[in-house]
Structure 1
Amino acid sequence: MTSPAIRQAAFASLALAFAAPAVQAQVQAPVLHSVLVTATRSPQAARDIVSDTLSISAEEIGRSGAGSITELLQRQRGIEVTRNGGPGTSSSVFLRGSNGNQVIVLVDGVRIASASSGAAAWNAIPLGAVDHIEVVYGPLSTLYGADAIGGVVQVFTKKGQGGMALDASLLAGSYGTRAGTAGIAGSAAAFSYALHAGKERSDGFSATLPGSTSYNADKDGYDRKHANGQLAWQFAPGQEVGAMFLHSGQESDYDSGAKVRAWSTQKLDTVGIYSRNRLNDIWQMTTHAAQSRDKSGSFAATASQIDTKQSLYSWQNDFALGQDSLQLLAEHRQEEVASNTAALVHERSTTSWAASYNMKRGAHLLAAAVRNDDSSQYGSKSTGSLGYGYRITPGLRLNAGYGTSFRAPTFNELYYPGYGLPDNRPEQGRNGEIGIQFDQGGTALGAVVYRNKLTDLLVNTKPCPAPGFPSGCAYNVSKATLEGISLSARQHLGSAFTISASADLQHPQDDGTGKLLVRRANRHGNVALDYTAGSLSAGAEWQVSGYRFDDAANRSRLGGYGLFNLYAAWECAPSWTATLRWNNVGNKHYELARNYGTAGSTAYAGLRYSYK
């Protein structure tokens, strides 16, 4: 799809989104009351946030029957995923056409990403530990620093509130998949607590397809154990201290030729402590210290081990100024890599200062932020953002925004033998967008048009400008444009049915070659119909994607696909819910990456217990 075609579709869609709800806008009060944290680093009503956001609630996760966090995200607007085989293999998540290492991933406010690759270990995040998820689209470097070019995904684990609650679940299904979780959460007096643990195992299927040089006909399964917890103590009104942790350990098989047994290990650990203190009526101070570790190993004909550690310290001050808010932030982050590849053993530190201001004046919303990140490796980078929202009616709002961002070069791009160059610079982004959203009664509509210009892109350049790199090197040579329109709609049909849909028309392009960026489609979308009546809920969904290319030259084409899924949940007794999910009903063959397998028609049955 060409840029003019996207712009024509954008204008038409914005006009339709503007006109359709206007007739209803005087009828009922808006229904949007959810509170989000990620878009401003502090709790804010969703209706007061200018950024383009998405929230996936615990109820939606439970109804979805999704088997992994990437499977859940793949059904959301503006998101594409790629995976090198089954659920236990490495995965990437693309937001609005951006690369996987151009998206920040947080777990309870703690960054998780390998400093060597820049990508988060999505395959190691257990969905059973997740309470809800927030997604913020577009540049957020002014709030979170390096790597927030495409957006931020924050995973919130389960925490305690109210009386004691118990939960447990069992799941079994195709490819010998079985999983179980158990947890307890609650609060007593000034304490709140939560502790959950689980285990998953699957026999899997061959990660590669015949024709691949790595093909092995054996099954490539995985075995994962995880645990997470939170503890908080409110020792005085407005004064709270707490801690949280997440551990996930996984061993999974992959293919490295017919005669070699190959497997990988992945360990993800996060731990954090915080103190949240209300100093007076307008000033709240939050001090946070955290650490995340990503340990990955691969074992075949040779062995490779890369362990990365991030230590993070932040001091955040939030001031309530009438309806407005001011936030002042200081942060320090230390990245370290240990590996049996000696050249990768390095470290760097980044010290950051930021300020943001959110204003409300009648129908007007304004958000402005600035930040400076000073790195011991790549120097000083400054970013800024400005957003504006106008409530045309109580349920109808127009948004516009502009922001700059950057991505720090990974340790692989700097130091990996035969590939990295220590002088590589950060990638830079400049994003502008305009959108309109309507949420009132049983109707929700949204359209966002965006254009993100990227410069100094780090790509594998061959021949390399530097001598001694016969296979090419990582080098700042490319420019890219990520532009498109993201559409969403939801409509309640009576008291039992809800239909929802999203469509993304995009053109993520390498400006130097005019080619599509690898593994990203011009078009993708989702349609779902949900039914709820009494103790029964059921639904059907259709996931579609256009063709993509597996190489930068756009010669290796991955065909488009459509997947039809069915799911149901039945509260068969008080506190007990039975679930059933049938994925890829038509047994569609498709590829998310060239010569890597994907699941055929699969079915899963589960039983959940929840006592409150």
Structure 2
Amino acid sequence: MTFKSSFLGVAPVPSLRRRAAATLPSSLFARSMLATALGSTTLAAHAQTAVPDATALPPVVVSATGYPQALSQALPSVSVITREQIEASGAQNLTTLLQQVAGVQVTSNGGPGQSGNVFLRGFGGPDVLVLLDGVPMNAQDATGVAYLNNFTTDQIQRIEIIRGNVSAIYGSGAIGGVVLITTRQGSKTPQASVSVTAGSRNTATVSANASGQVGHTALQAGISRYTTQGISAINPAQLGNANPNANGYRNTTMNGSIVQTLAPGQSLGLRAFRSEGRASFDSYGSYASPTDTNLSRTTQDLYQLFSDNQITAAWQSHLNASQQSTTNTTQNFSAFPYSSTYRTRVQQLQWRNVVALGAGWTATGGLELQRQSIASITGSIPGKERNAKAAFIGLDGSFSGNEVQLNLRHDAIDGYSGENTGYLGYGRELGAGFKAIASYSTAFNAAPLGYLYAPYYGNPNLRPEKAHSVEAGLQWSQGPNVWRATLFQTKATDQWQYDFTTSTFQNIASSRTRGLELSGRGNWNGWTYDANLTLQQPVNTSQPGDPTLQRRARSMANVSVQREFASVLYGASVHYSGPRWDNGPSGRVTLGAYSTVDLTASGALSKDWSWNARVQNLFDKKYQTVYGYNREPLGVFLGLTWRPAL
């Protein structure tokens, strides 16, 4: 498994390596910490086999503090999905992976490529911050989402998900949590692969990746193409006048990087990423017709220049300048045609530092400057832009069986007064692998530019959302096994909601989510497992009556197991979601509870060739996450990968 230097912020300094080595087996330190933090690619052993061993060693995370540490050491609640797990799952879309994570709920207006939302502990939309190689992906439009349904998995190296309020670490938008995505990167040794997948609904994927090093220059390039006939997004029996045809989707993703080592501990790099998705979608209602055609195109670009510098033996610095843009085009061909194109952009300059203080303590800190903007090509949204500046510091360490993490951050965003946020976490070793964990944190979220300035419903006087959270948990860890039980509560005020009286967004909502989260992953008697259960109460505290928030389930669970038999890795996953309510044409309706089962298998055909298979929704369960919108039925997909020895 590997990281981007931009995602990590910095490579670990020697004392951090020693600290990690003291808490992890030496084999993990050599294979995971060094390969991850120093930017090498997946180990050759994994490159030559389709039987990954993703949890045979304790996983390493960087999102909780900004530098590598064992998952069992992290005080915030973190989940990690490695490249090996992505390949073993056979999942072709990012949201398919995310719905297996504790506390995560995915909704979609149909099949692949359709609009949707991702909720973390009951918070969604602009309250879930998404970072790609350390750069915010949430659009500055009237949705505030990161369009995760437009992400395929072939060019993703790693995903980390922090559940809960971490605004003091990552800034505005992290009330519900953070999804950190790392794209694939290069290696020092030459590597190449070509993969093809085909299956139900005329689904096909072709991807190619290559990397290596020439002298002091490391190169990487990858491209993937995903196409599917899809399904009919809308059920015409529930929502009238909808087009019953299948809504197809195609996506092309490109990723590349070049990193030049200037001197020992000094490197300069350039990275580029582009994802372009095109889909047809359905509309309904009095202005729609069964013959209507609707098309959408979403393009996400990221360009990044970065420098990693070892200032001293204890101080590592990372500086990056980046630009991320999301462009959306919507076209309707009907008796009432329309077309719109708009682009949101975030230009970011960030400086991050990690300093080993000695005696088990580490300090982090840095500065960040963003230029956020939105522009409408068709003129429906006036062009707007603003500056966002931040300074942040952190301190993490342990003494006499106690672990403390403190993060403070100050954000200054045009149009708002300065906002201060904090995170205080504490862990106490209890012996026999048990640890008690508690934390308190505050958060805020500045309204996207589309919420402020969109014609008709924008409100430039919106105040930022505010939140504070408390958590208490008990963790047990031994070797690769990490189990945690967490009680959590987050209260949010001044939340944005569309007000039908004024026909604009207003600060009229407040909510609270509290619950119990159980999660565990590891190995047992040759079985690899990952299981979680979330019992939550996401409620609207500003509304009388039944306060449960729309489309949020009060109970969710996932169980995944893998076992190798005769050189073939077999896997099974079960996903459960409890009932939820939604709005229908005649008022409130209940979306029933559902369970889906997926099966996977993978193995090696030879030294250079491997195969994988995935059965999705084995029992062809019919379910909806948004009223009137269908989800994927039974599907079977087969893949073949060639990794030549170079």
User: What's the TM-score, normalizing by structure 2?
Assistant: 0.86
1:239 alignment partner in structure 2 = 266
Counterpart of 2:406 (choices 355, 365, 368) is: 368
SS for the counterpart of 1:412 is helix
Which segments of 5 or more consecutive residues in structure 1 lack a partner in the other structure? Answer: 1-28, 465-471
Partner AA of 1:272 in structure 2: Q
Q: What's the CA shift for 1:38?
A: 1.9
Counterpart of 2:636 (choices 577, 580, 603) is: 603
The answer on 1:131 being equivalent to 2:144 is no
1:351 alignment partner in structure 2 = 389
1:493 to 1:457, Cα distance in 2 relative to 1, 3 A: same
1:443 to 1:351, Cα distance in 2 relative to 1, 3 A: closer
2:308 alignment partner in structure 1 = 276
Q: What's the CA shift for 1:162?
A: 3.5
> Contact between 1:241 and 1:275, CA under 8 Å: does it hold in 2?
yes
Partner AA of 1:36 in structure 2: V
2:346 alignment partner in structure 1 = 310
User: How far apart in 1 are the matches of 2:162 and 2:529?
Assistant: 23
SS for the counterpart of 1:115 is coil
The answer on 1:535 being equivalent to 2:571 is no
Moved over 4 A (4+): 29-33
Counterpart of 2:208 (choices 168, 182, 204) is: 182
Partner AA of 1:43 in structure 2: P
SS for the counterpart of 1:555 is strand
> Contact between 2:388 and 2:411, CA under 8 Å: does it hold in 1?
yes
2:234 alignment partner in structure 1 = 208
Q: What's the CA shift for 1:367?
A: 0.7
SS for the counterpart of 1:550 is strand
2:375 alignment partner in structure 1 = 338
1:20 alignment partner in structure 2 = none
1:371 to 1:561, Cα distance in 2 relative to 1, 3 A: same
Q: What's the CA shift for 1:354?
A: 1.2
Moved more, 270-279 or 498-507: 498-507
Partner AA of 1:232 in structure 2: V
1:526 to 1:589, Cα distance in 2 relative to 1, 3 A: same
Q: What's the CA shift for 1:444?
A: 3.3
Matching of residues 470-549 of structure 1 within 5 Å: 472-490=503-521, 492-495=523-526, 497-513=527-543, 514-549=546-581
1:155 alignment partner in structure 2 = 181
Counterpart of 1:574 (choices 585, 597, 607) is: 607
The answer on 1:446 being equivalent to 2:484 is yes
Counterpart of 1:261 (choices 275, 293, 296) is: 293
SS for the counterpart of 1:543 is strand
User: How far apart in 1 are the matches of 2:409 and 2:481?
Assistant: 37
User: How far apart in 2 are the matches of 1:151 and 1:141?
Assistant: 8
Partner AA of 1:321 in structure 2: L
User: How far apart in 1 are the matches of 2:357 and 2:87?
Assistant: 39
User: How far apart in 2 are the matches of 1:104 and 1:161?
Assistant: 29
2:140 alignment partner in structure 1 = 115
Partner AA of 2:369 in structure 1: H
User: How far apart in 2 are the matches of 1:283 and 1:463?
Assistant: 56
> Contact between 1:275 and 1:286, CA under 8 Å: does it hold in 2?
yes
1:295 alignment partner in structure 2 = 327
SS for the counterpart of 2:623 is coil
Q: What's the CA shift for 1:554?
A: 8.4
User: How far apart in 2 are the matches of 1:351 and 1:498?
Assistant: 44
1:324 alignment partner in structure 2 = 361
Partner AA of 1:570 in structure 2: G
Q: What's the CA shift for 1:277?
A: 1.0
Counterpart of 1:425 (choices 449, 463, 471) is: 463
User: How far apart in 1 are the matches of 2:462 and 2:479?
Assistant: 52
User: How far apart in 2 are the matches of 1:173 and 1:321?
Assistant: 54
1:362 to 1:242, Cα distance in 2 relative to 1, 3 A: farther
> Contact between 2:453 and 2:459, CA under 8 Å: does it hold in 1?
yes
Q: What's the CA shift for 1:240?
A: 1.3
Q: What's the CA shift for 1:343?
A: 4.0
Q: What's the CA shift for 1:205?
A: 1.4
Moved more, 544-553 or 560-569: 544-553
Which segments of 5 or more consecutive residues in structure 2 lack a partner in the other structure? Answer: 1-26, 29-55
User: How far apart in 2 are the matches of 1:120 and 1:606?
Assistant: 28
1:191 to 1:390, Cα distance in 2 relative to 1, 3 A: farther
Partner AA of 2:370 in structure 1: R
> Contact between 1:459 and 1:477, CA under 8 Å: does it hold in 2?
yes
User: How far apart in 1 are the matches of 2:132 and 2:567?
Assistant: 32
Q: What's the CA shift for 1:100?
A: 2.3
> Contact between 1:344 and 1:411, CA under 8 Å: does it hold in 2?
no
SS for the counterpart of 1:127 is coil
Q: What's the CA shift for 1:123?
A: 2.1
The answer on 1:550 being equivalent to 2:582 is yes
Moved more, 349-358 or 338-347: 338-347
SS for the counterpart of 1:63 is helix
User: How far apart in 2 are the matches of 1:324 and 1:394?
Assistant: 24
The answer on 1:218 being equivalent to 2:245 is yes
User: How far apart in 1 are the matches of 2:481 and 2:306?
Assistant: 39
Q: What's the CA shift for 1:451?
A: 0.2
User: How far apart in 2 are the matches of 1:199 and 1:142?
Assistant: 38
> Contact between 2:583 and 2:627, CA under 8 Å: does it hold in 1?
no
Q: What's the CA shift for 1:557?
A: 1.4
How many pairs does the alignment contain? 576
Partner AA of 2:281 in structure 1: Y
2:118 alignment partner in structure 1 = 93
Q: What's the CA shift for 1:534?
A: 4.6
SS for the counterpart of 2:295 is strand
User: How far apart in 2 are the matches of 1:331 and 1:419?
Assistant: 31
User: How far apart in 1 are the matches of 2:512 and 2:490?
Assistant: 6
1:458 to 1:364, Cα distance in 2 relative to 1, 3 A: same
User: How far apart in 2 are the matches of 1:69 and 1:449?
Assistant: 27
> Contact between 2:270 and 2:305, CA under 8 Å: does it hold in 1?
yes
> Contact between 1:499 and 1:527, CA under 8 Å: does it hold in 2?
yes
User: How far apart in 1 are the matches of 2:82 and 2:231?
Assistant: 31
1:461 alignment partner in structure 2 = 499
Moved more, 296-305 or 442-451: 442-451
Q: What's the CA shift for 1:213?
A: 3.6
> Contact between 1:214 and 1:255, CA under 8 Å: does it hold in 2?
no
User: How far apart in 1 are the matches of 2:566 and 2:437?
Assistant: 38
Q: What's the CA shift for 1:603?
A: 0.8
The answer on 1:382 being equivalent to 2:382 is no
Q: What's the CA shift for 1:34?
A: 3.2
Counterpart of 1:286 (choices 318, 324, 343) is: 318
Partner AA of 1:326 in structure 2: A
Partner AA of 1:478 in structure 2: A
1:443 to 1:278, Cα distance in 2 relative to 1, 3 A: closer
Structure 1 vs Structure 2: percent identity of aligned residues? 30
CA deviations 1:276-308 (Å, max 9, x no partner) are: 111112222211111100000110020111200
Partner AA of 1:538 in structure 2: Y
Counterpart of 2:594 (choices 530, 549, 561) is: 561
Partner AA of 1:292 in structure 2: Q
2:129 alignment partner in structure 1 = 104
User: How far apart in 1 are the matches of 2:341 and 2:432?
Assistant: 55
2:31 alignment partner in structure 1 = none
User: How far apart in 2 are the matches of 1:90 and 1:445?
Assistant: 34
1:499 to 1:144, Cα distance in 2 relative to 1, 3 A: closer
Q: What's the CA shift for 1:141?
A: 1.4
2:51 alignment partner in structure 1 = none
Matching of residues 584-603 of structure 1 within 5 Å: 584-603=617-636
Q: What's the CA shift for 1:319?
A: 1.6
